[in-house]
Amino acid sequence: MGLDTDASEYFELLKHDLFTLRIEWRMYRSFFGTNLETVEMLNDVSGSTTHTLERVLFERCLLGIRRMTDPSTGRNRSTEAVTIKGLSKRIDLADTELKKLVSDAERAASFARNWSSKRIAHADLEYRLGGAKLETASRAKVETAIDGIAAVIKWVSLEYLDVHQVTHVLPPLDDERAFLKAIFFGQRELRRLEALRKTLLADEKYAELDSVRKETANYPDWLQRNDPPTD
């Protein structure tokens, strides 16, 4: 059947956005949704940084879900967005199966739209004052919504391009797991040095203790940070 140039370019943008969403959600799951030990390790290194990363990654994924299921045109119809609903302008959506897939994906993404409208993209006053609650946003809901978007992409790929589209991008060798391993070994080394300092102090081996202190304080200039302003 094929796609014309305009539809093909639009569809490639949709696939890119889905791949990006998959990668960002995989990163979130690797950090915060795989096991308790990983979360405890990150919190032990820096609780405040870990909390911020978890919130930012989760909310970014919700925004990605919302963007891909938004209306394809703005309210004044002067702008156009890259969204699965925008396929209707480029592909004949008379096929009831595709209509249903788009509708199912939009419905599965309703919670993300609620979060975006009240908390992420907009600061809803009623919500901020405690008068309104957010819809439940679970990891299962996120994955259902992403899979719903992927179902649209897969259907178009198969029906129009005769391609069985794979939407889970293979992770590179230096993915988030390599990042976590570096944190694990770095944390283990810091604990070893801290235990060594305590032993040397208890044994009154002050010369060796001073050497260890100098070693751990010897950071390169690019790792040094000034304190933030206090105003």
3/159 Cα distance (integer angstroms): 10
Q: What is the CATH number of domain 5-169?
A: 1.20.120
Q: Which tokens sit at 21?
A: 């969403």
pLDDT at 104: 97
pLDDT at 94: 66
pLDDT at 42: 97
114/110 Cα distance (integer angstroms): 6
**Digits of tens for pLDDT over the chain (231 positions)?**
678 899 999 999 999 999 999 999 999 999 999 999 999 999 999 999 999 999 999 999 999 999 999 998 877 777 899 999 999 888 876 668 888 999 999 999 999 999 999 999 999 999 999 999 999 999 999 999 999 999 999 999 999 999 999 999 888 878 899 999 999 999 999 899 999 999 999 999 989 999 888 888 888 888 888 888 887
Per DSSP, helices labelled H in the chain are 5-32, 36-45, 47-69, 96-108, 110-115, 125-128, 139-161, 176-202, 206-217
In Å, how far are 66, 111, 137, 140, 145 from 115, measured between CA atoms? Answer: 9, 6, 8, 16, 14
Q: Spell 14-40 as b/e; 16+ CB within 10 A means b.
A: beebbbebbbbbbbbbbbbbeeeebee
Q: How many CA atoms lie within 13 A of 21 on its CB side?
A: 26
Which pTM value belongs to this model? 0.89
Cβ neighbours, 10 Å, residue 51: 12
